[in-house]
């Protein structure tokens, strides 16, 4: 099995694939990394909070072993992606969908962690039928929000109302 792997930030940075940049339609740059098998089953990974494209040490080898190609973007304003002045679930979700379209993916699964869930849902909606499945792990709202009249019918508000904060995982697809 080999020696144990120490999960340190430095170790993750040192072993992560090189950062890449996508020029978005509005001129901004979206930073991202690709882990695993370049010809593997595509998975868009949407991180929680202010995380970035750096995954834990060993992710590249494990994804390769599993036949996966993980696309891990930095959210606008986090990591090396340019800031988005009109930051919203919809805007960021469109950026992530642009990344998948730029890569010419015929099919992609979407995986999100915690507060990354709303961005992932919007990206999947933008991608339409090429988003074959969505996995939301420990999905939760990013903070206390009040519903307004404008929120009625909003996909993320409806999702939160119907699933509750204690959601552990949902497969949609």
Average pLDDT over residues 80-103: 94
Please state which of the ranges 22-31, 32-41, 55-64, 131-140 shows the lowest mean pLDDT.
131-140
What sign for the dihedral angle of Cα 77, 91, 46, 23?
negative
Confidence of residue 34 (pLDDT cuts 50, 70, 90): very high
Percent of the chain past pLDDT 70, that is, above it, reads: 75
So what's the pLDDT on residue 173? Answer: 32
Report the helix count and the strand count for the chain, using DSSP H and E. Answer: 5, 7
The model's pLDDT over 118-141, given as tens digits with 9 standing for 90+, comes to: 899 999 999 999 999 998 887 555
Burial 125-142 (b: 16+ CB within 10 A, else e): ebbeeebeebbbeebbee
């Amino acid at each position: 099995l080999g020696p144990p792997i120490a999960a340190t930030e430095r170790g993750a940075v040192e072993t992560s694939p090189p950062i890449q940049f996508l020029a978005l339609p509005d001129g901004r740059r979206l930073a991202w990394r690709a882990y695993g098998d370049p010809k593997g089953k595509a998975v868009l990974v949407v991180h929680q909070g202010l995380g970035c494209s750096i995954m834990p040490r060993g992710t590249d080898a494990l994804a390769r072993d599993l036949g996966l190609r993980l696309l891990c973007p930095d959210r606008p304003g986090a990591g090396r992606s340019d800031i988005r002045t009109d930051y919203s679930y919809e805007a960021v979700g469109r950026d992530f969908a642009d990344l998948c379209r730029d890569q010419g993916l015929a099919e992609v699964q979407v995986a999100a962690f915690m507060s990354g869930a709303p961005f992932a849902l919007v990206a999947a909606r933008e991608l339409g039928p090429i988003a074959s499945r969505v996995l939301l792990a420990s999905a939760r709202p990013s903070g206390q929000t009040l519903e307004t009249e404008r929120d009625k019918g909003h996909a993320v508000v409806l999702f939160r109302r119907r699933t509750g904060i204690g959601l552990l995982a949902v497969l949609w697809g």
